[in-house]
Structure 1
Amino acid sequence: MRSRLFRRPNAKIGAALIAVMLIAAVFGVMYTPYDPIINNLHLRLVAPSGQHWLGTDEWGRDVFSRLLNGASISVFVSFSTVLVSVAIGALVGALTGYFSGWPSRVVMLFIDALLAFPSLIMALGVIAVFGASSTGVIIALSLTYIPAVARVVRANVLSLREKEYVEASRVMGNAELYTMLRHALPNAVAPIIVLATALFGWALLAESALSFLGLGVPPPESSWGGMLADSRNYVSDAPWLAIAPGLAISLSLLGVNLFGDALRDEFDPHMKNLV
């Protein structure tokens, strides 16, 4: 599947952009040319040069270093959000899809109620409780995306539980929970992978939006949305302050979406032979 997947142009471009984002995130943790937090007012709003590739901001901090540091924060928050959302959402969806009865219906009523709330408004409410921090953003976004994962997994498990191999497991005397975890849930992995890729892009955009509103990672830590927000007062005098994080967010989202489209096409039986 891997060789066929990477014959698709969107998979190649998407994987390349994602690789650049991940490399930037690794460098943001391990090494940056300058300290992304310490101020140096003598270098305030310096234009891009050989010494500062993307210039400096209003506090004299190197924009390239802050971009790398922001990549590590954005990737950590997005990946953690996807991990929590998929783990909890897949379990809830599998249980409610495999086991029928009033408990499943009550849980799905609660899930539907969560889906009725606009995601950003729900995230704002959760952050108001837990505070603006990486942990608060992860909890807020996870609660926002868990219902979507649960819905997708439940729909797949509802059809899978009627398959012959699931019935054969029951006839062999295996426990219902074992049958669900061993036979039903693993066969719903393909849509989960596609959805997880989309969730990563959604989480990346939502984290940037929350940081732009001042509700994400608090200063002086850097985040792409926070950098974009800080650049608003200097767009005419120092356009590089907006261009750098704006391009980082756009290209990262483009990479995730292209690769997600390739995965969807690969797992779709009507599309997988079109390369």
Structure 2
Amino acid sequence: MAGLGLTPYDPYAQAFFELRLSGPSWQHWLGVDRLGQDYFSRVWRGASNSLIFALAGSLSSLTLAAGLLVLERRGGPLLAKAARAWVAFGIALPAIFIGLLIATFMERSAGALTLAISLAGVPFAFRQLRVLWMELTGAAYVEASRAIGGGSWHLFRFTLWPNLLPQLVEIWKLVFAYALLELSALTYLGLAGDPNWAELGTLMREGQKLLLNDARFVLWPGLLLCALLGMVRLVRVE
């Protein structure tokens, strides 16, 4: 995320047009793209944008899924059935379709993409949270806590939460990886609105035009996307 403020050059400034498509140098570590923009700055800012919007989308998905789970568990039989039916329907809708649908009614923007990946991740997050909650609430140590008279808050704070948090982080990692891939896929299809927006999917889309002449304009954002997905595995909560 440091790429939001720490780039060697303005990633949107076409200040090096005379050096366009030049190779790496001391001044331009990854060269200059076809629009005269420093490519290292573009890729660095693109990775930051991908991380931030995928993080926002994944956290929104988990929040909405948790709210839907509360509705399903405490809203009565009718609402519970409606929630499960909505989730079953949502599983069948890919994020690309949701993105196209939102783009039809909203102006194409990073916010619209975040909304698309947030909604697309809710069914998957809901199912994972539901299974986790049912496993935890049926565990022997939870039954023991109830048997000794523990209240609802005490039960959640001291019995459920310490066991819930590490597994919740594991679910978030899956939802985040899903959101990151879907965000890059949607921007690759040109749904970002601004075709010059620095984001890894947009950079790969632009680099594809030069694939046969200079593959590095696809290679670098692709490798960085893989690296970000790999780094998610390093997140741990003890």
Give the TM-score of the pair, scaled to structure 1.
0.75
Cα offset, 1:240, TM superposition: 2.1
RMSD: 2.7
The yes-or-no answer on 1:221 pairing with 2:197 is yes
- TM-aligned CA deviation for residue 53 of structure 1: 0.7
Q: Distance in 1 between matches of 2:47 and 2:155?
A: 38
Query: How far apart are the structure 2 equivalents of 1:184 and 1:126?
Result: 41
Write the mapping of 1:39-78 to structure 2, written as runs, cut at 5 A: 39-40=14-15, 41-78=17-54
1:88 to 40, 61, 64: 64
Report the alpha carbon displacement of residue 122 of structure 1 after superposing the two structures with TM: 2.3
Residue 30 of structure 2: SS of its match in structure 1? coil
Match of 1:21 in 2: none
Which residue, out of 10, 15, 40, partners 1:35? 10
TM-score scaled by structure 2?
0.85
CA contact (8 A) 1:98 1:157 kept: no
- Structure 2 unmatched runs, 5+: none
* C-alpha separation in 2, matches of 1:198 and 1:48: 35
What amino acid does structure 1 have at the position aligned with 2:6? Y
Deviation of 1:196 (Å): 0.5
C-alpha offsets along residues 73-111 of structure 1, whole Å, 9 cap, x if unaligned?
Answer: 101111101111111212322442466522212211111
Work out which of the residue numbers 97, 117, 136 in structure 2 matches 1:141: 117
Q: Partner of 2:132 in structure 1?
A: 156
TM-fit CA distance, 1:241? 1.2
Percent of residue pairs identical: 27
Q: Could you list the per-position Cα deviations for residues 94-140 of structure 1 after superposition, in whole angstroms to 9, with x for gaps in the alignment? A: 44246652221221111111112233322322233333211111110
- Give how far 1:166 is off: 6.3
Q: Does 1:209 align with 2:185?
A: yes
State the shift of 1:61 in Å: 0.2
Say how many residue pairs are matched. Answer: 233
3-state SS of 1:259 partner: coil
Cα distance in 2, alignment partners of residues 249 and 224 from structure 1? 7
Q: List structure 1 segments (4+ residues) > 6 angstroms apart after TM superposition.
A: none
Of structures 1 and 2, the one scoring higher in RCO (CA 8 A, sep 6+) is 1
Distance 1:125 1:47 in 2: 40
Paired amino acid for 1:90: A
Aligned to 1:241: 217
